[in-house]
Amino acid sequence: MPSRAQQGPRTIVLGTDFSAAAQNALLRAVRIAKQHGATIHVIHAAPRLPVLLTRRFPVLSGRKQREALVGLVKQIRAAGVQAHSQLAHGNVIKVLTAKARAVAADLVVVGARGRTFSDSMIGSTAERLIAMDRHRVLLVRRAANRPYREVLIAANEDSRLKEQVAAAKLLDTRAPSVLHAYEVPFESTLIVHGVRGDELRGHRVIARREAALRMAGLIEQAGLRPADLVLRHGNAARVLQRVDRDALLVLSRGRSAVRHLLMGSVTRSVVAFGASDLLLV
């Protein structure tokens, strides 16, 4: 009998702010839920407001949000998926985390508004999403009107590739590709000092070969083929930001403080400025 992980997600928490981006997330969550027979828990986090303020302005009481949640549940159920809703008060990430724990969620789905954060907000928004490291988080950027064109796992030699592969197969049963970004050591220095032509090309070939060798053992341990490795020359953040908008990118979050510091800037950058849907594992 297949394990629960092999069966796919059975409980999904969907965060919504009733925006167009949240509607994209809803459609993707419904597609996943229908595929696996999952239940969706729709939750909206509203700020806590003083009682005197809500009495003076009834529009702030939450009635409209509750009505909107009822409408979303009807939409989900009309698609043949079980759904429940909740209006909660407090910080959105804390609310989502608490709900995910309460229902033992296999997946948390939220919509991304695109490149709308200021530089000062990128870090805090991404960090809060990354902090939900007990749960898989799917960040949806595009309307879910078709399956993902491809599934790419972003990995380096320190990645938990087996876990990423398992998470990817929850959402798409196709064998994923492993995307590894590598840089050529001292390439800019060599160019500045006049290294050109065959010498520079040879140095790049060696760097690519060494990158493939570094990843070979990890690929094998994850049960994938060498042909599943995709090498891209360049800075990791920029390479991942350029992943096709119709793909699903799977990115591992570090459990240790050291991994968090190493991966943090890349992850924040991809969360804020990437083009594809992003599954954080």
Instruction: Assign residue 215 the CATH number of its domain.
Output: 3.40.50.620
Same domain flag for 92 and 221: no
Q: What is the pLDDT of residue 242?
A: 94
Same domain flag for 102 and 14: yes
Token pair in block for residue 166: 């398992």
Domain count, the chain: 2
* Domain closes at, from 67, 87, 111: 111
Q: What is the pLDDT of residue 52?
A: 62
β-pairing, 277-280 with 137-140? antiparallel
Same domain flag for 267 and 214: yes
CA distance readout (Å), 209 to 24, 43, 104, 184, 185: 40, 48, 43, 11, 13
Q: What is the phi/psi pair of residue 129, to 5°?
A: -65, -45
Same domain flag for 176 and 261: yes
Buried b (16+ CB within 10 A) or exposed e, 154-174: bbbeebbbeebbbbbbbbbee
Residue 64 inside a domain? The answer is: yes
Q: What is the pLDDT of residue 268?
A: 77
Rounded to whole angstroms, the Cα distance separating 151 from 247 reads 6
Same domain flag for 164 and 264: yes
Same domain flag for 107 and 216: no
> Which stretches of the chain are assigned E, i.e. beta strand?
11-15, 39-46, 83-89, 107-111, 137-140, 151-154, 177-182, 229-233, 248-251, 277-280
Each residue's pLDDT, cut to its tens digit, for the chain (281 residues) gives 344 445 679 999 999 988 898 999 999 999 999 999 999 999 998 877 666 655 556 555 667 888 899 999 999 999 999 999 999 988 888 899 999 999 999 999 999 865 433 333 344 455 576 667 678 999 999 888 888 999 999 999 888 899 999 999 888 888 899 999 999 988 888 888 888 888 888 899 999 999 999 999 999 999 999 999 999 999 999 999 999 999 999 998 765 444 444 445 787 788 888 899 999 98
Rounded to whole angstroms, the Cα distance separating 73 from 256 reads 38
Cβ atoms within 10 A of the Cβ of 9, count?
Answer: 25
Q: What is the pLDDT of residue 92?
A: 85
Q: What is the pLDDT of residue 3?
A: 46
Buried b (16+ CB within 10 A) or exposed e, 176-208: bbbbbbbebeeeeebeeeeeeeeeeeebeeebe
Same domain flag for 151 and 250: yes
Same domain flag for 152 and 281: yes
* Domain closes at, from 67, 96, 111: 111
Rounded to whole angstroms, the Cα distance separating 93 from 186 reads 41
Residue 131 inside a domain? The answer is: no
* Domain closes at, from 111, 128, 155: 111
Which sign does the torsion angle of CA 161, 166, 170, 172 carry? positive
Same domain flag for 262 and 180: yes
Q: In residues, how long is the chain?
A: 281
Rounded to whole angstroms, the Cα distance separating 4 from 38 reads 12
Same domain flag for 156 and 106: no
Residue 89 inside a domain? The answer is: yes
Q: What is the pLDDT of residue 173?
A: 81
Cβ atoms within 10 A of the Cβ of 33, count?
Answer: 26
Q: What is the phi/psi pair of residue 193, to 5°?
A: -90, 15
Residue 239 belongs to what domain range? Answer: 147-281
